[in-house]
Structure 1
Amino acid sequence: MNRKCLIKNMTDQVKEAQLKLGYAPETVRLYYPVASLNEILGTSARNAQEMLTLLNGDFEEKTELGKLKFSSHAERIEISIPPEGAKWVHEHVETPAFLKELIELFQTKHACTLEEICEIFKKYDPEYICEKMPAGSDFDYAIHFHNAEHDEYYYCIHMEMGHTIYHRFTEADYLALL
């Protein structure tokens, strides 16, 4: 089981939330489909109960995010990160410049354009990739870096009624959308 990948994914999500909402020393709850956790962990649990058994067995010890708690809700796994984990991310995880700039764009300009979003990607890597999503998709565009060293996530953009939003996915979860 690849614990490091899951810790990194959770840390990335907590950091993103802190950039959007600010830091608060409180419990953070993240929800994962079993298929996403299988991809991240390199496991093959067939359902939420099997995944819970794997997680509870492998995460008995405290992590840098504190003592994690696991439960299932409608075939998704809830991972509860205690306040000490939120504090650890706030104090020890560097703010990614790219993500900070992207979030600031969305916070200051509710109807930002695709061109403005792409300018931020281009600033960090001129070889970023922007693709139109297939018809019937929940999103209009998907943007990611050619070189995952800049940022490994896929940013799916949706523009509707004067608002532009993004959702961030791992590559595997993005491919599952298609």
Structure 2
Amino acid sequence: MNREKLLKNMTDQVKEAQLKLGYAKETVRLYYPVDSLNTILGSNAKDDQEMLTLLRKAFEAKSSLGELHFYSHAGRVEISIPPEGSQWVHEQVETPAFLKDLIQLFQEHHACTLEEICQVFENHGHEYVCEKMPEGSDFDYAIHFKDPSIDEYYYCIHMEMGHTIYHRFTESDYQAML
């Protein structure tokens, strides 16, 4: 089971939330579909209850995010990160320059253009892929770096009624969405 990969994913999500909303020393709750956790962990739990058993065993020892708690919530798995985990991310995890710039663009320009978004990618690693999403998708475009060491996530963009939003997915969750 790839415990470290899940810890990195959780840390990335907490850092993104802190960049968007600001830091507060509080409990953070993340929700994962079982399929996503299976992919991240390299496991094959059949349902949320089996996943809870795997997670509780894998995280018996305290992690850098503190003592994690796991619950089943509407068929998904809730991972509860204590306030000291949120504080650890704030104090110990460097802010990714790319993510900071992307979030700043979305905060300053609620109707940012595809060209502006692509410029942020260009500024941080010249080789990226921008694809039009299939008809009927919830998103208009998907953008990701060819080199995942710059940023490993897929950013799905939706433009509607004067607002532009993004959602960030792992590659496997992005592929499953297609």
TM-score range, shorter chain: over 0.9
Rounded to whole Å, the distance in 2 between the matches of 1:42 and 1:20 is 30
Deviates more, 1:29-38 or 1:118-127: 118-127
Q: Percent identity?
A: 74
Secondary structure at the aligned position of 2:65 is classed as: coil
Superimposed CA distance per residue, residues 72-93 of structure 1 (whole angstroms, 9 cap, x where no aligned partner): 1111000000000000000000
Q: Which residue of 1 aligns with 2:54?
A: 54
Normalising by structure 2, what TM-score?
0.99
Q: Which residue of 1 aligns with 2:174?
A: 174
Rounded to whole Å, the distance in 1 between the matches of 2:101 and 2:87 is 22
Q: Which residue of 1 aligns with 2:164?
A: 164
Q: Which residue of 1 aligns with 2:105?
A: 105
Q: How does 1:13-162 map to 2 (within 5 A)?
A: 13-162=13-162
Once the two structures are TM-superposed, the CA of residue 127 in structure 1 deviates from its matched residue by: 1.3
Superimposed CA distance per residue, residues 25-58 of structure 1 (whole angstroms, 9 cap, x where no aligned partner): 0000000000000000000000000000000111
Secondary structure at the aligned position of 1:51 is classed as: helix
Secondary structure at the aligned position of 2:31 is classed as: strand
Rounded to whole Å, the distance in 2 between the matches of 1:168 and 1:51 is 23
Rounded to whole Å, the distance in 2 between the matches of 1:28 and 1:73 is 15
Rounded to whole Å, the distance in 2 between the matches of 1:83 and 1:127 is 37
- What amino acid is the match of 1:114? L
Once the two structures are TM-superposed, the CA of residue 101 in structure 1 deviates from its matched residue by: 0.2
Once the two structures are TM-superposed, the CA of residue 149 in structure 1 deviates from its matched residue by: 0.7
Rounded to whole Å, the distance in 2 between the matches of 1:150 and 1:61 is 30
Rounded to whole Å, the distance in 2 between the matches of 1:140 and 1:161 is 13
Once the two structures are TM-superposed, the CA of residue 124 in structure 1 deviates from its matched residue by: 1.1
Secondary structure at the aligned position of 1:144 is classed as: strand
Rounded to whole Å, the distance in 1 between the matches of 2:58 and 2:171 is 24
